[in-house]
Each structure stands twice: as structure tokens, then as C-alpha cells.
């Protein structure tokens, strides 16, 4: 899918809660060797949202900073899409709360997206279409999550919180969104039924027939449509449910460790679901130079992948003027907590037992 | 009783076969075996299917006629045989009896299991259900923990070491590396096995056979007709089935499987040979300790010396008694109710000298050994080269 008119990123920023828990401390509660689990998943710690943090607060903070970088006002926002699988309400949009917090209401369109971990990149594509068709001037695409892992489940070692927001528009761009494509099938590898607190997953089925099949096929489709290959990109960002999968996928497709390293945040912050690829891309843009090319492929269970061909412009050098913290700066602020505090923060236990 | 020959074999690749159902696996293996024998479906007189737990694993009972139907031979009488993880081996014995008795001439015996449609924990619980639910699992024992107790006792009593257990896995992976149908066709290092996450002390992850999908099949006929078919025949020289207490705690010696000893004794006697005449064996290695105990119970080594023999390379593929040339349950894979038939396929390939890179030198007799549960049932077949 090639945009009709030039479209790209005018501003971006991410937010990750400062609290962290180590796999060792999770394993200790469940009688497992958490260090071995962590090593297997290549996760050293994962982020934990504070009790007053959710997808709304993460999205709002990221969007505010992104607007600062794009140097646009609230009344210039024509659309907001928030992709997440942990929207605070089952029925009532996150996007309206974010829009109101940004003072962007009422003259804009807004909606929530859900497509497991790729809802954020789906929001990218929507904004790309609206901008390149001339229907809107600026849209905000957000991917954010405070993902859930059932106590004692293997997911508990990776499910984390964080997100990033992107101002998609035309004109003065930090990076061009030159091409995108998707690969979608009905593959039940991971799901959460209506009314259930925690998701379920298909164990090893989440690997080869799910993540790897979609990420590989979508990326190769982008190569086919653009005539490019791994050697044409300076960086690559893949969805990162753990540290193993993106490394393996990158190797299989033909990317080097150096190409993916800047966007690989999962080791320190865990799997931020819809936030993972937007955050990985933000960290990559933080260190990119004008002319750099970035390949992005997200993955959402259920299942689908979105790939993007991104070219960084000379404007990237100006972002330092806006005093917005880089992803590296944000994630370097860490406060480690015990499992009991984590259990309280994540409402696995509550005062009064309610 | 008539002599019985195996005139065709076939099997699927083993592994996590996400895109194949139980019926597809069963049909694939069956058709390959019929093709190997040069037979058509309408020549089949009876079908036996070894399967442990389709009811729990895929919510489907009555699977023998299901497979027959979808294979296009719905009119052929078919029977499912269940005896825990020995279902495949015991199905083969039932097929043998049908031909040996003169009731049938052309019998197909298949084994099939689809294990990955349930989660890993559920699959483990289903495996544990082949132990005594009232006297073992209800108190928290899992399948692997019962075998871990046998391993611990073997170590205590005979000085068997973690290194020796690990060597079983290393050897079987090395053999599987030469088997295109294996789930894990790659070599592994001993340190890797020893440092793997613990499952039930002393058994780590790489001491355990995997959860697998897969199927295997053989075609039987009276020996007197064996040369009139397309495939190279192999003779079934002797069969023995043994039984023992269901619960491990009832047994006098928990690291001797009496069921295997009894099965082996009968099989050797019926074949008119002893353990020294066996040129290779496919042994039930659901855990590394099981192979060590079994090579003792089958009479290849004295009780307590299985670990040392393995460590010294006496069960390697180029040794006097190669064990699990296919890679075994450990590395070839464990589609649990099909295992006995997977073993039969390997033994036939070896005796026909069709085993490719893992071929042993001119074997005359091959033994296959299949255990049900923690050893309450066990079956041994001795197969003999045709000429």
C-alpha cells in the first residue's frame, strides 16, 4: 500500500512507567527458577504501571510530547486513534479521554483500535490513509498497553506497560512513511474472551505458525512491493513479545543484530504489546540520522502483521530543540519493586479484598 | 499358528504438526505403508489403530472407523487399541494375532496421536492419567515425578550419574540427526542436557521426551504370502507382553520393570533366541532413566550397569547393541499412542537395510520395546530379517 501523496511522521514520543520487576522475583512466588525463565525469554526486567497509570495516561503523556516535537496545537489535530488491548473501559473510548486531555475536542474524529499487539500500527495506517487522501491534516496514532498476565502464567514474566504516540501528517516531516503492507489470517494463538480478566494463549503455537509466519511473510511482501531487501535498511524494528523472537525473525529475514539493537527494548522493559513497535521505532528515530531507512514490522495475535518502509529526513536533527525526553532517558529511570508491590499495583490483591 | 510378516511400513514426520489433524496423520501413514507393500485399500481385511487418548486430546472417540472412513475404506472392520503409551505396540500384537490365527490375511496396524491441540499443561496431565489416578496422581504425583523417583533410586542404589542420564539424550539426538522424520534432528551437548531447567529432580527438560503429533503404520500378512507383494518382507519372530502393578509404590523394586522382564522373556522364548542375538533395539525412552532401566530389563546389560554401558558408548549406533537408532522417543518424537508403530517402522527399515545414514551393519534380529504408563504394561516384539 503506497500512499497517494507524501505522508509521514511530524512528531513522536514514548512513555514507559518507571517501576520494574525482575523475573527472579516473579519466579520465587511460583516456585520456578525465574532467572532461568528470564534468560530463556531474554528479559532482564519488565515495566509495571503505577496504580494511577493506564492506557489513557500513557497515551496522553506520549501524545503531549509528540505534539511538542511536531510543534502543533491542539486545534490542528483532526484524528486520534488509540490502539491497545488494555483499554480501561470495555465500552467507552480511550481516544475521547485522550483527546479531551489534549484539548483537541470536539472537532476531530476519534476511535479505539484493538488487534492484540499490532493495534498501534493499524492506527498508523489509518492516519496515513486519511492524510494522504487529503481528508485530514494531522492525525495522532497511538499504541499503548498495560498488558495482563495471569498470576503464575508464563506471560507474567513478560507482560509490561508503555506506549508511544505519532503525529502523522504532511509537510515538514521527521520521517517519510513511504510504503506499508499487511498480512492477515485467522490464527487463534492468543485471546481474551469478553469478561475475562486475563488472556489465554496457545503455548508453543504462538511461535512458528503465528509470530514467525506473519512477521516473515509481511516483511517479505514489503520487500517484494518496494524492490528492497535487508541491505537497504539501516535499522529494523520487529514486534518483541520477548527477546528471542525478534532476534530469530531478524536473522531469518536477513537483518543483523546491529540493525535491530536500537529498537530492541524488550530486554529492559518487557513486552509492551501495542506499545512495543511504536516504542522500538521511537528509540530508533532517537538515534537515526537524515537519510536513514528503517524497516518496521509489527505483529498482533489473532493474527496479523503490518510492515512499514520509513525514510528519515533532515528535520530529525531539530527534535533535540524540543526538550522531550528520549526513550533511552525515559527507560533509564527505574525503580525496582517486589512481587507483593507488583501484585498490589496490578490489582492482583486489593485492600479489603474487594 | 501361522508365521506373520511385515510387508510394508510408513510414517509421518513427527513434531508440532499444526496444520495436520489426527485423521490426516493416520491416513498419511497408512497410505504410505500400503504403497510400500504395493497394496490397495480394498485389499485390507482389518485395521487396528493404536491411540492413547484422542478422547481427551482432540475430544474424539471411535477413531478407528473415523480413519478408515476418511481413508476411503469405511467397509473395513476397524478397532482402536489402548494401553497407555504401549497402545501402538499392543495394537501391533493384536494385528499379529489376527493374521497368525488365520482369521485375516491382510491387516493394517496404525498408530496415531495428535497431542498439540491441547496446551502443554493439559498434555502433561493427560500423560499422567496413565498412572493410577486414585493412588498416585491424586496425591500430586505427575508422570515425570514417578519416573524421577525411579531415577533417584537407580542413582542411589547403583551409582548412576546425571552424566550417564544425559548421555542417553546426547546419543539419541545424535541418531535423530540422521533421521528425516525426527522432531529434533540435531545433535546436543551433554552440558546442555545437564544444565536444562529442572522438571522433576533429577530429570531436567532434556531428560524428557517431547509432546508430538505423528503416525506410523505397518501392513501384515501370512509369511507364506509375503514374497508375493511389492515390499521387502520382515518376519515377526516373537512377541511377549508383560504386566505389573499399576502403582509404582506396589512394586518391590521400582527401578526394575517386571512387565518388561516378563515381556522380554516370552518374546525371546517364542523367537528361540536370547538378548545376545539381538543386533539393535528400539527401546522406550520417554525419559532418559527409562532407557537405562530398560536395556537392563531386556537383558542387554546387568541390572545397575545400564548407565555405565551408555556412558562407555556400548549402546551407540556403531556398537554391539545400538539402542534407538531412530532417535527414540527422546529425539525422534513421542506421539504417545503411535510410539510402538514408530519403533516397528525403524526396525523394519533397519532389517531391510533401508535406514540410510543410520543403518546398522547387516542386522539379523531387531527388538522393539514399548511401555504403557509407568510400567504396568510392556510389550516386546522381535523382528527378523527375511533371508
Please tell me whether residues A58 and A136 are part of one structural domain.
yes
- As a whole number of angstroms, the distance between CA B220 and CA A116 comes to 52
- Provide ipTM, 2 decimals: 0.74
Four-residue CA torsion sign, A86, A92, A95, A96: negative
The gap from C-alpha B8 to its chain's centroid, in whole angstroms, comes to 18
| Neighboring chain A residues of B333 at a CB cutoff of 8 Å | none
From B165, B175, B328, B134, select the one nearest B255 (Cα to Cα).
B165
Instruction: Encode pLDDT of A140-153 as tens digits.
Output: 999 999 999 999 99
Give mean pLDDT, residues A122-131: 98
Instruction: Encode pLDDT of A217-232 as tens digits.
Output: 999 999 999 999 999 9
Q: Is residue A37 part of a domain?
A: yes
- As a whole number of angstroms, the distance between CA B287 and CA B302 comes to 20
Q: Is residue A115 part of a domain?
A: yes
Structural domain total, chain A = 2
Q: Say whether pLDDT at A318 is over 90.
A: no
Give mean pLDDT, residues B129-144: 94
Q: Is residue A3 part of a domain?
A: no
Q: The CATH number of the domain where A225 resides is what?
A: 3.40.47.10
**Chain A contact present for B140, CB below 8 A:** no
Domains of chain B: residue spans and CATH:
4-119+211-234 (3.40.47.10), 130-210+235-385 (3.40.47.10)
Q: Which residue range(s) make up the domain with A195?
A: 176-315
Please tell me whether residues A143 and A200 are part of one structural domain.
no
- Inter-chain residue contact A36 with B197, CB threshold 8 Å: yes
Give mean pLDDT, residues A6-31: 97
From A218, A239, A221, A234, select the one nearest A300 (Cα to Cα).
A239
Please tell me whether residues A15 and A150 are part of one structural domain.
yes
Please tell me whether residues A169 and A262 are part of one structural domain.
no
- Inter-chain residue contact A36 with B119, CB threshold 8 Å: no
User: Looking at residue B243, what DSSP letter applies?
Assistant: E
Nine-digit cell string for B298: 531386556
Of B18, B116, B197, the CB nearest to A33: B197
Residue in chain B nearest A190 by alpha carbon = B119
Please tell me whether residues A14 and A90 are part of one structural domain.
yes
Q: What percent of chain B stands above pLDDT 90?
A: 98
Residue A117 among the catalytic residues: yes
Q: Is residue A210 part of a domain?
A: yes
CB atoms within 10 A of CB B359: 17
Please tell me whether residues A307 and A327 are part of one structural domain.
no
Residue A85 among the catalytic residues: yes
pLDDT at position B27 is 97
Q: Say whether pLDDT at A97 is over 90.
A: yes
pLDDT band of residue B231 (cuts 50, 70, 90) is confident
Q: Say whether pLDDT at A353 is over 80.
A: no
Sheet holding A138-146, edge to edge: A109-113, A79-83, A138-146, A161-169, A8-15, A175-187, A302-312, A293-297, A235-238
Q: Is residue A2 part of a domain?
A: no
* Strands, E assignment, B114-243: 198-200, 203-204, 214-222, 234-243
Q: Say whether pLDDT at A354 is over 70.
A: no
Please tell me whether residues A306 and A183 are part of one structural domain.
yes
Please tell me whether residues A170 and A182 are part of one structural domain.
no
Please tell me whether residues A74 and A64 are part of one structural domain.
yes
pLDDT at position B230 is 84
Give mean pLDDT, residues A266-288: 98
Q: Is residue A1 part of a domain?
A: no
| Neighboring chain A residues of B196 at a CB cutoff of 8 Å | none
Residue in chain B nearest A37 by alpha carbon = B197
- As a whole number of angstroms, the distance between CA A192 and CA A148 comes to 10
Please tell me whether residues A12 and A116 are part of one structural domain.
yes
Say which range, A49-58, A260-269, B166-175, B227-236, has the weakest mean pLDDT: B227-236
Please tell me whether residues A257 and A311 are part of one structural domain.
yes
Please tell me whether residues A149 and A294 are part of one structural domain.
no
Give mean pLDDT, residues B104-111: 98
Q: CA distances (Å), B39 to each of A124, A142, A149, B99, B280, in order?
A: 59, 62, 54, 16, 29
Task: Confirm if A339 and A25 have CB atoms less than 8 A apart.
Answer: yes
Task: Confirm if A143 and A164 have CB atoms less than 8 A apart.
Answer: yes
Amino acid at each position: 500500500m503506497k500512499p497517494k501523496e507524501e505522508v509521514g511522521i511530524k512528531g513522536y514520543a514514548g512513555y514507559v512507567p518507571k517501576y520494574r520487576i525482575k523475573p527472579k522475583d516473579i519466579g520465587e512466588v511460583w516456585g520456578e527458577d525465574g532467572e532461568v525463565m528470564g534468560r530463556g525469554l531474554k528479559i532482564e526486567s519488565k515495566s509495571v504501571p503505577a496504580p494511577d497509570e493506564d492506557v489513557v495516561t500513557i497515551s496522553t503523556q506520549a501524545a503531549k510530547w509528540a505534539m511538542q516535537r511536531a510543534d502543533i496545537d491542539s486545534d490542528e489535530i483532526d484524528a486520534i486513534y488509540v490502539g491497545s488491548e488494555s483499554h480501561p473501559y470495555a465500552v467507552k473510548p480511550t481516544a475521547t479521554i485522550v483527546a479531551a486531555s489534549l484539548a483537541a475536542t470536539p472537532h476531530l474524529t476519534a476511535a479505539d483500535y484493538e488487534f492484540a499487539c499490532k493495534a498501534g500500527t493499524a492506527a498508523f495506517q489509518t492516519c496515513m490513509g486519511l492524510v494522504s487522501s487529503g481528508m485530514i491534516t494531522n492525525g495522532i496514532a497511538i499504541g499503548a498497553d498495560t498488558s495482563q498476565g495471569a498470576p503464575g502464567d508464563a506471560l507474567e514474566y513478560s507482560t509490561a506497560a508503555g506506549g508511544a504516540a505519532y503525529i502523522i501528517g504532511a509537510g515538514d516531516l521527521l520521517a517519510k512513511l513511504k510504503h506499508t503492507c499487511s498480512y492477515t489470517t485467522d490464527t487463534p494463538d492468543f485471546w481474551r474472551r469478553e469478561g475475562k480478566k486475563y488472556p489465554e494463549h496457545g503455548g508453543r503455537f504462538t511461535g512458528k505458525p503465528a509470530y514467525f509466519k506473519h512477521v516473515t511473510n509481511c516483511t517479505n511482501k514489503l520487500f517484494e512491493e518496494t524492490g528492497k531487501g535487508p541491505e537497504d535498511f539501516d535499522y529494523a524494528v520487529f514486534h518483541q513479545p520477548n527477546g528471542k523472537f525478534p532476534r530469530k525473525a531478524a536473522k531469518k529475514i536477513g537483518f543483523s543484530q546491529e540493525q535491530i539493537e536500537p529498537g530492541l527494548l524488550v530486554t529492559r522493559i518487557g513486552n509492551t504489546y501495542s506499545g512495543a513497535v511504536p516504542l522500538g521505532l521511537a528509540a530508533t528515530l532517537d538515534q537515526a540520522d537524515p537519510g536513514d531507512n528503517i524497516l518496521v514490522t509489527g505483529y498482533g495475535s489473532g493474527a496479523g502483521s503490518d510492515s512499514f518502509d520509513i525514510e528519515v529526513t533532515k528535520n530529525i536533527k531539530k527534535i533535540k530543540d524540543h526538550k522531550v525526553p528520549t526513550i533511552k532517558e525515559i527507560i533509564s529511570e527505574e525503580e525496582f519493586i517486589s512481587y507483593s508491590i507488583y501484585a498490589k499495583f496490578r490489582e492482583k490483591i486489593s485492600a479489603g479484598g474487594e | 499358528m501361522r508365521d506373520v510378516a511385515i510387508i510394508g511400513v510408513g510414517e509421518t514426520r513427527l513434531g508440532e504438526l499444526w496444520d495436520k489433524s489426527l485423521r490426516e496423520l493416520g491416513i498419511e501413514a497408512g497410505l504410505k505403508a500400503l504403497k510400500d507393500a504395493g497394496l490397495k485399500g480394498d485389499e485390507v481385511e482389518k485395521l487396528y489403530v493404536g491411540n492413547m487418548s484422542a478422547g481427551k486430546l482432540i475430544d474424539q472417540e471411535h477413531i478407528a472407523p473415523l480413519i478408515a472412513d476418511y481413508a476411503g475404506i469405511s467397509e473395513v472392520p476397524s478397532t482402536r487399541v489402548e494401553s497407555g503409551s504401549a497402545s501402538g505396540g499392543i495394537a501391533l500384537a493384536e494385528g499379529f494375532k489376527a493374521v497368525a490365527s488365520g482369521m485375516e490375511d491382510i491387516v493394517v496396524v496404525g498408530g496415531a496421536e495428535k497431542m498439540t491441540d491441547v496446551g502443554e499443561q493439559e498434555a502433561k496431565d493427560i500423560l499422567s492419567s496413565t498412572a493410577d489416578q486414585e493412588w498416585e496422581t491424586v496425591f500430586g504425583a505427575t508422570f515425570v515425578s514417578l519416573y524421577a523417583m525411579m531415577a533417584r533410586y537407580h542413582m542411589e542404589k547403583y551409582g548412576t550419574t546425571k552424566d550417564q542420564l544425559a548421555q542417553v539424550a546426547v546419543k539419541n539426538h545424535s541418531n535423530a540427526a540422521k533421521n528425516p522424520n525426527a522432531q529434533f534432528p540435531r545433535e546436543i551437548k551433554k552440558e546442555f542436557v545437564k544444565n536444562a531447567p529442572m522438571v522433576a529432580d533429577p530429570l531436567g527438560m532434556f531428560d524428557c521426551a517431547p509432546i508430538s503429533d505423528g503416525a506410523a503404520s505397518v501392513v501384515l500378512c501370512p509369511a507364506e504370502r509375503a514374497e508375493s507383494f511389492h515390499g521387502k518382507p520382515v518376519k515377526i519372530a516373537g512377541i511377549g507382553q508383560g504386566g505389573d502393578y499399576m502403582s509404582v509404590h506396589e512394586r518391590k523394586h521400582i527401578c526394575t520393570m517386571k512387565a518388561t522382564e516378563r515381556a522380554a522373556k516370552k518374546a525371546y522364548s517364542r523367537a528361540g533366541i536370547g538378548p545376545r542375538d539381538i543386533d539393535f533395539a528400539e527401546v522406550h525412552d520417554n525419559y532418559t532413566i527409562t532407557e537405562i532401566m530398560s536395556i537392563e530389563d531386556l537383558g542387554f546389560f546387568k541390572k545397575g550397569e545400564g548407565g555405565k554401558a551408555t556412558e562407555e558408548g556400548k549402546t551407540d549406533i556403531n556398537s554391539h547393541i545400538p539402542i534407538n537408532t531412530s532417535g527414540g522417543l527422546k529425539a525422534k518424537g513421542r506421539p504417545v499412542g503411535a510410539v510402538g508403530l514408530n519403533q516397528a517402522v525403524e526396525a523394519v527399515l533397519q532389517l531391510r537395510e533401508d535406514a540410510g545414514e543410520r543403518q546398522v551393519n547387516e542386522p539379523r534380529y531387531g527388538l522393539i520395546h514399548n511401555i504403557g504408563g509407568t510400567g504396568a504394561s510392556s510389550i516386546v516384539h522381535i523382528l527378523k530379517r527375511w533371508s
